[in-house]
Amino acid sequence: MSPVASFDDMAWTDSTCPVARTLDLVGDRWSLLIVRDAMDGARSFTDFQQRTGVARNILTDRLRRLVDRGLLERETATSGRRQVYVLTDAGRDLFTVIVAMRQWGERHAFAEHETHSVLVDESGLQLARLCPTDSHGDPADVGSTTVLRDIRDI
Amino acid sequence: MSPVASFDDMAWTDSTCPVARTLDLVGDRWSLLIVRDAMDGARSFTDFQQRTGVARNILTDRLRRLVDRGLLERETATSGRRQVYVLTDAGRDLFTVIVAMRQWGERHAFAEHETHSVLVDESGLQLARLCPTDSHGDPADVGSTTVLRDIRDI
């Protein structure tokens, strides 16, 4: 799949690593919180401001950056009065990253007695646990996988 | 599961959201690149410095923070001469987040002609695509899921 935006101006931290490129594009707390809120229905500047509590100048910067990088699109609201921000297909595809972060947080960032929000399906039940699997469908983890520097090594 | 570290000193951005807590703990580019490199065998300060290219003062800060937050443990190398950093169970469990970011990057952050590193299993083949599924095992996405503010709402 081709990237949705031109990345000609990106100074990649580690240009051949997909993890690093993703982090360069969305790897700061505010960008991913904005994406989280857009997935949860936030559309206007005020929506994002109220939900994240981020300073307005930072929010302005992050929204612009997410638009430039092809994660959000600016649209005019049906009222015709204000601009809203809508996830692009690439932005919506971050759902897997957000779910992975949510599930990790549920497992490791809460004490027993603390409550937290939950992501539920249309039956009102929580999603299944995301489990990386290898090419045979067996569970994969740090110990059973290796990074090859270049796809041509395969 | 209880958290592996005491988070008493954390000023959570959005304390009931597991996504936000995860971002508070590891949601900056360098922390997740350090975790990525630890998964790929980096252990010493020099390993991390060379792989990420991060400034030494930032690396020192991020390693300390990852230890404080229970993602890395300091150990003395078998030579007895230097300290190394090893992922804790909670750190290793970030594998799913890293894989999700890698696969998103592969889909959206590279042009057709660009090559990138790949994560392979013991057969030398790439992992299956991570797909969130609902409580029935059906594909789940932004449109089919909802965030409930508190687990007691279920």
Cα atoms in the 13 Å half-sphere on the side-chain side of A75: 10
Q: Is A9 on the interface with B (CB under 8 A)?
A: no
Crossing angle of the two packed helices B95-108 and B29-39, in degrees rounded to 10 = 110
ipTM over 0.90: yes
**How many Å apart are CA B43 and CA B105, to the nearest integer?**
25
CB contact under 8 A, B28 and A27: yes
CB contact under 8 A, A29 and B28: yes
Res A4: pLDDT? 56
CB contact under 8 A, B115 and A33: no
Res A69: pLDDT? 94
Q: Which of B21, B22, B108 to mutate to test the interface with A (most CBs of A within 10 A)?
A: B108
Identify whether the C-beta of residue B57 lies closer than 8 Å to the C-beta of residue A148.
no
Q: Is A39 on the interface with B (CB under 8 A)?
A: yes
Identify whether the C-beta of residue A54 lies closer than 8 Å to the C-beta of residue A30.
yes
Residue A29, CA distances (Å) to A36, A58, A62, A124, B147 in order: 11, 11, 10, 28, 19
Chain A residues near residue B109 by CB distance under 8 angstroms = 3, 7, 18, 21-22, 25
Residue from the list A101, A118, A133 with its beta carbon closest to the beta carbon of B148:
A118
- How many residues in total does chain B contain? 154
How close B27 gets to chain A, by Cα (Å)?
Answer: 5
pLDDT digits (tens, 9 = 90+) for B130-149: 999 999 999 999 999 999 98
- How many residues in total does chain A contain? 154
Res A137: pLDDT? 95
B139 strand-pairing partners:
B133
**What is the identity of the amino acid at B146?**
T
Task: Split chain A (154 residues) into runs of 10 and give each run's mean pLDDT.
Answer: 68 93 92 96 96 95 96 90 94 98 96 92 96 96 92 56
Which ranges of chain B have pLDDT less than 50? 1
- DSSP letter at A87 equals E
